[in-house]
């Protein structure tokens, strides 16, 4: 089949869809008459999600000084929009469980994705951005297009990986060269169909090419820089074997000093293992 990013995203929609609980949360968030209790009621419908969210808000990932022992308290402290984004992040992982390990270990892939999300969230926090959970979700989803390509076009991806290694070239550049599009394009098309926020769609679409983004430049820069840091640390892998170059304009867009890097690595060490353990934990439904 002559695949395009649009065709790949459409095909995925016939296989899987966003969790009903997340769609309910979005609908409730868009209703001005909704209350915190409405959110608590929806989240409570999914015991596994409830447990994960409570574990997450009580972990080093958040670092709250006192224990948050109820969903009601979690909604109050964390905020509705942020909790909605975290619910999405913890649900997405379960949607792509049957990907073969032929190209990259799925455990390694998800650890890389979560690590990127954690670093993006820390960078957003240093910038004092309003919704740092959106940065986490963007980082978590930045390579979701690769999963779709692993599923639907395995032979082509095998050629891409072999060529990238033999030519010592970045995978996304090899994708563009051979296929005419990249995993970033595929991922952003799926997120469009899921009607996720435009900031997340842009961050995923342009994380390798931040200089070409005409909007949401900070969101894009956060994921570009986070992905580079995680790849340089060799923190698991989504299949990339080289460290991509830093786009200096993207770094400047963040308005941060290089002096934050030591603190960032320290914060990352504290938060990463907690986030991995909670998000990838098997839960009964």
What CATH number is given to the structural domain containing 171? 1.10.3210.10
Say how many CA atoms lie within 13 Å of 4 toward its Cβ. Answer: 3
Q: Is residue 153 part of a domain?
A: yes
Give me the pLDDT at residue 236, please: 59
Give me the pLDDT at residue 285, please: 44
| Percent composition of the chain: helix, strand, coil (DSSP 3-state, to 5) | 70, 0, 30
Tokens for 177?
């060269």
Give me the pLDDT at residue 224, please: 97
Q: Is residue 284 part of a domain?
A: no
Q: Is residue 118 part of a domain?
A: yes
Number of domains in the chain: 1
Instruction: Estimate the crossing angle of helix 47-57 against helix 80-95, to 10 degrees.
Output: 120
Q: Is residue 152 a contact partner of residue 13, using CB atoms and an 8 Å limit?
A: no
Q: Is residue 157 a contact partner of residue 149, using CB atoms and an 8 Å limit?
A: yes
Tokens for 46?
């999914």
**In 50-59, which positions are buried (b, 16+ CB within 10 angstroms) versus exposed (e)?**
bebbbbbbbb
Say how many CA atoms lie within 13 Å of 219 toward its Cβ. Answer: 25
Give me the pLDDT at residue 174, please: 96
Q: Is residue 93 a contact partner of residue 280, using CB atoms and an 8 Å limit?
A: yes
Q: What is the C-alpha separation between 249 and 247, in angstroms, rounded? A: 6
Give me the pLDDT at residue 228, please: 94
Q: Is residue 110 part of a domain?
A: yes
Q: Mind listing the pLDDT tens digit of every residue in the chain (285 residues)?
A: 799 999 999 999 888 777 788 889 889 988 999 988 999 999 898 888 888 889 888 988 888 888 999 999 888 888 888 788 888 877 777 777 667 777 678 888 889 999 999 999 999 999 999 889 899 999 999 999 999 999 899 899 999 999 999 999 999 999 999 999 999 999 999 999 988 899 999 999 999 999 999 999 999 999 999 999 999 887 656 677 788 889 999 999 999 999 999 999 999 998 998 888 888 776 554
Give me the pLDDT at residue 278, please: 82
Q: Is residue 285 part of a domain?
A: no
Helix residue ranges, H only, 127-260: 132-141, 144-152, 154-166, 171-179, 183-193, 198-205, 217-232, 248-254
Give me the pLDDT at residue 14, please: 87
Q: Is residue 141 part of a domain?
A: yes
pTM: 0.90
Q: Is residue 132 part of a domain?
A: yes
Q: What is the C-alpha separation between 172 and 182, in angstroms, rounded? A: 6
Give me the pLDDT at residue 237, please: 65
Residue-number span of the structural domain to which 100 is assigned = 5-279
CA dihedral in degrees (148, 152, 156, 162; nearest 10)?
50
């Amino acid at each position: 089949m002559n695949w395009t990013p649009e065709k790949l995203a459409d095909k995925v929609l016939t296989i899987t869809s966003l969790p009903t609980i997340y769609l309910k949360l979005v609908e409730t968030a868009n209703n001005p008459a909704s209350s915190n209790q409405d959110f608590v009621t929806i989240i409570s419908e999914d015991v596994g999600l409830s447990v994960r969210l409570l574990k997450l808000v009580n972990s080093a990932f958040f670092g709250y000084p006192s224990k948050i022992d109820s969903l009601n308290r979690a909604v109050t402290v964390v905020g509705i929009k942020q909790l909605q984004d975290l619910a999405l992040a913890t649900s997405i992982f379960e949607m792509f469980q049957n990907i073969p390990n032929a190209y990259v270990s799925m455990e390694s892939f998800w650890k890389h994705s979560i690590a990127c999300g954690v670093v993006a969230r820390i960078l957003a926090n240093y910038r004092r951005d309003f919704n740092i959970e959106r940065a986490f979700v963007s980082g978590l989803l930045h390579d979701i297009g690769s999963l779709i390509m692993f599923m639907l076009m395995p032979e082509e991806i095998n050629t891409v990986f072999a060529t990238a290694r033999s030519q010592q070239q970045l995978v996304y550049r090899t994708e563009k060269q051979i296929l005419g599009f990249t995993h970033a394009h595929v991922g952003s098309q799926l997120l469009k169909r899921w009607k996720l926020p435009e900031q997340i769609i842009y961050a995923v679409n342009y994380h390798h090419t931040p200089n070409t983004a005409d909007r949401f430049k900070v969101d894009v820069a956060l994921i570009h820089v986070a992905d580079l840091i995680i790849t340089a640390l060799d923190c698991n892998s989504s299949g990339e074997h080289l460290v991509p170059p830093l786009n200096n304009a993207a770094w400047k867009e963040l308005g941060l000093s290089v002096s934050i890097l030591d603190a960032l690595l320290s914060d990352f060490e504290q938060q990463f293992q907690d986030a991995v353990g909670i998000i990838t934990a098997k839960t009964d439904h």
